[in-house]
Amino acid sequence: MEAYKNARELLISYEKEQYQAFDGLPEDKEKNMSPSPFADMSWLLGEIKQFALQSCNLLIDVLLEDGFLVPTAEQLETLGCDSFDSEDTSELRLQQTFLRFWLPLLKVLNSPSFIHLLLEKLFVELKQLAKEQNNNQRAFYISTWISEIILCNSNKFEYHFETKGQKKARMKERIFVNRIQLRWQQLLSACLDAPCVSTPHLLQLILDDMEHPLPLETRQRLLQLCSIYTQIGHSEYDTVPEHKHQPIYTLESLHEKLQQLRRHRWRSTSYAEGSGVSPEEYKSADAQAENVKLLRGSPWQVCNDKVLWKNYPLGKVPGQSDDPSCLMVENYSTMTVFDQPVELDSNTTHSVPGVSAPLRTADGLLWNHSDVNKLKSGLQLF
């Protein structure tokens, strides 16, 4: 109980410091930037980090209580965030101000062991809420924190058209930057064990980011079973184009197909507007990301740099050494050519179109049969 009280006191002190910091910002900038930490905040974060080293389980349990990672209506109002709307839970993204409120603390605690434990406890809480089915706000924020953490770890999305400033701002708003080796099988089991309205979305994120992806057919079946069990149309989470071109038998299926197209266009347009690129560039970036994924594990890679290819001869790439040995592959087999037939008759005339006279031979000594055999015995084909 003493450790529990200490954890609550530390987190409440952190919240007080953050509220003061956010209150000190001008009203027009409050939603667009994070406050600079106070001197007291640095000391407080050190205390929380030290507590996490001793009682990480307990600290996460307190974090998941209402009033911390799951905000109350009063907290959202104080931060100037929109109140929870149970009708609009289609996108599992946190309000930016609320995310920035907790970022300093989560950035201090973002060790792999802490992230593993936090994800496990989030899924356990989600499973419990799925049984109760009477607290939509809490279920939404638990699901959203899971989504935010997995997205931080994902390499699926590549931003080819952003500036250095945009990249810096995006990295600043991530809980952690470097990829963590998550326990994917455990997360997959935990996700399937907590069926709720957000499970198909979380399942899709996990399947897309696994280190060793499941077979495509298995992924499709898991998503279909999940959507059936949670009473959600699988079409929203279907990533296989063939499934989107099923024959239309009824008027209802025609309406559903039209809704799919509208949703797809809206998502493409909204992403393009939010990132400052055109929908065409967005589609191009998506295609490039798919090519990168296909080439993963092979010696080839997609070049996204702006290169004037006309300056390079065919067969050469930028940065390639002039040393011929750089073209050697790691695994190869050799074959002698000693038994290959060689034309030795130098007196044979060759007819060339447009030339009536025989070709002239080079002046000097010619190789005899013994010389050719010596050359052949030293040659190897790779």
Separation between Cα atoms, residue 27 and residue 145, nearest integer Å: 26
CB count, 10 Å around CB of 51?
18
Rounded mean pLDDT of 299-319? 77
User: Shortest CA distance to 107 belongs to which of 183, 177, 206?
Assistant: 177
pLDDT single digits (tens) 103-140: 999 999 988 899 999 999 999 999 998 877 677 889 89
pLDDT value of residue 142: 93
pLDDT-derived band at 27 (thresholds 50, 70, 90) equals: very low
Highest mean pLDDT among 10-19, 267-276, 334-343: 10-19
Taking the CA atoms of residue 137, residue 139, residue 145 and residue 149 in that order, the dihedral angle to the nearest 10 degrees is -160
pLDDT score of 121: 94
CA dihedral 120, 93, 44, 2 (to 10 degrees): -40
pLDDT digits (tens, 9 = 90+) for 196-241: 888 889 999 999 888 888 888 888 888 888 888 776 544 444 444 4
Q: Residue 283: which pLDDT band, with cuts at 50, 70 and 90?
A: low
Q: Is 197 helix (H, G, I), strand (E, B) or coil?
A: coil
- Residue 72 to residue 61: CA distance in whole angstroms: 17
User: How many degrees, rounded to 5, is the angle at CA 105 between CA 102 and CA 110?
Assistant: 110
| pLDDT tens digits along 310-355 | 888 877 777 777 777 776 766 666 666 555 555 554 444 444 444 4
